[in-house]
Amino acid sequence: MTEISLEALKQRLTLMEDAEIIDRETTDGLRLTFIYLGTLIDQERLNESILDPLVRSFQSSVEKSLTTAKISSLSNLAQAFQYLLKGSVLIHDSSSGRWNAIMLPNSLGRSIETSETETIMFGPKDSFSEQLEQNILLIRRRLPLTALKTERYSVGSLTQTTVVLMYIDGLINPEFVAVAKKKLSSIDFDMFLDSSHVAAFMEDHYHSIFPQYLQTDRPDSCAYALGIGKLVILVNNTPFALIAPITLFHLFQSPEDYINRWLVASFLRPLRYLSFLLSITIIPLYVALTTHHYQMLPLQILYVIIESRSKLPLSPFWEALIILITLEIIKEASLRMPTKTSQTLGVIGGIVIGQAAVEAGFASKVLIVLAGISAISTFLVPNYLVTKSSLLLQFIFLILASYLGVPGILLGLVAMFAHLNGLTSLNQPYLAPVSPFYWRDWVDLFVRGPLHAMRNRPEALRPLNKYRMNRRSK
């Protein structure tokens, strides 16, 4: 290890305009050198808590002068730069030759705001921000436990991104923690600017279109996940946390499920599964029936479709393909534009272009209605990543329907569920508790049972403490 020297530090800090090197002498004659990056540290705290007390001190060392500060002793040059780049001020005592570091990170950042990706009518409104320590605080407020462990890792050779692994010791299955630690320790990449980058290196099946880590910006969702035996991964400079292990069914659950009355939540949850299936199959089904199985349609519906398509020059497949691509262009454009403009774009895209497409003879009225139902159905799924996955599935099913008809759609569904059955999240089955079968977990699966009935934590997670209630109160 290279020893720390003032010359070596100055050489590495060349052409860094925010680098500051200042000398001070204390009242007792102690000569100190302070080195820091002005953009990374809190200058006000530096003056009030470090410089002023030290200069007025009569003590013989930094440690004795700053008894309330957390001082880290430095032993080599690499360690000194590591502290410097994370918002520390380095202090060199010329009389003793010792180097110390005190963390003074700049707390610049946005305040706690309402979640924009997982909005709910009732319940907690706060969401994560880009500040890691603040995100840990939001979870610790909800789980004031000494058993709530936080382990830090650094990933990315360029970004040196701090990643925090959180879990409740004595509750979570140790196997999950061991797998997560192994995956985090083995990450070898240069840049991590978002939690999704970390998830990409920790997923068991990175070619799959289905997410294997749940991304959320809600602290209450993370606290709930920790409380039932999952782990949470926080990434510095990103407002989204990762939750694992998950199953397909977790992606259809909303935080509001546990706030609504259980009968209402039990009605809404199956509606989301149905909406997902509708979003990926309703247009392919239209193409299959009008191309291969029109004789299966009731006569009245067949008349409507024939009348609607009588002047169209395109086949049902090309008609559906053009409308779906146009719809996705409008959706992507509305996401990239300012909020007020995107609303106008939605109206223009949905009404004006849709009506114009019908009148110009590019699409039938029936298909426009089905495209609208399909688009709205995707928004019932709470997870944004699943919504994007459904888009790709819709195109695959459309191609199968155009060549094979309804059997093609069924073949696609069988292949999709076979793929889901082979997926894992943190080495745990993706379709649990359906496959493998855990009947006790069905109380919070397709429906949401009353909280009083959820006495046990999910059996599929195999927690060390499986009871959520005091057993004597049963």
Regarding whether 161 and 13 lie in a shared domain, the answer is: no
Tell me, what amino acid is at 410?
Answer: L
pLDDT in tens, 220-263: 999 999 999 999 999 998 999 999 999 999 999 888 888 888 89
Residues 369 and 320 in one domain: yes
Q: Same structural domain for residues 221 and 312?
A: no
- If one counts the domains in the chain, the total is 3
Per-residue pLDDT tens for 103-120? 888 777 777 888 777 777
**Are residues 282 and 407 part of one domain?**
yes
Give the end of a domain, one of 196, 212, 246.
246
Is residue 184 located within the same domain as residue 89? no
Pairing of strands 161-168, 88-93: unpaired
Classify residue 281: in a domain, yes or no. Answer: yes
Mean pLDDT (whole number) for 443-459: 87
Domain assignment present for residue 154? The answer is: yes
The token pair at 343 is 């609303």
Structural contact between residues 102 and 91, judged by C-beta atoms closer than 8 angstroms: yes
Pair 417, 292 in one domain: yes
**Domain stops at, among 425, 451, 466:** 425
Residue 119 in domain: no
Q: Is residue 126 part of a domain?
A: no
Are 138 and 273 in a shared domain?
Answer: no
The answer to whether residue 283 sits within a structural domain is yes
Domain that includes residue 25, residue range:
6-103
Same domain, 270 and 418: yes
Strands 214-216 and 241-244: antiparallel
Is residue 474 a part of any domain in this protein? no
For the cut 60, the answer to whether the pLDDT of residue 474 exceeds it is no
Closest CA to 229 of 250, 248, 208: 250
Give residue-wise pLDDT tens across range 272-286: 999 999 999 999 999
Burial 440-473 (b: 16+ CB within 10 A, else e): ebebbbebbeeeeebebbbebbebeebeeeeeee
- Whether 65 shows a pLDDT value over 80: the answer reads no
Co-location of 25 and 67 in the same domain: yes
> Does 331 share its domain with 399?
yes
> Are 179 and 286 contained in the same domain?
no
Residue 342 pLDDT grade (very low, low, confident, very high; cuts 50, 70, 90):
low
What gap in Å lies between CA 361 and CA 343, rounded to an integer? Answer: 26
CA distance 232 to 317: 44
346, pLDDT greater than 70: no
List of residues 6+ apart from 310 with CB closer than 8 A: none
pLDDT at position 66, please? 77
For residue 309, tell me if it sits in a domain: yes
**Same domain, yes or no, for 276 and 407?**
yes
Min mean pLDDT across 68-77, 93-102, 333-342 is at 333-342
Q: Is residue 459 part of a domain?
A: no
Given 218, 246, 274, the domain boundary residue is 246
How far, in Å, CA of 373 to CA of 68, rounded? 62
Tokens of 277: 């299936």
Token pair listed for 199: 């998830």
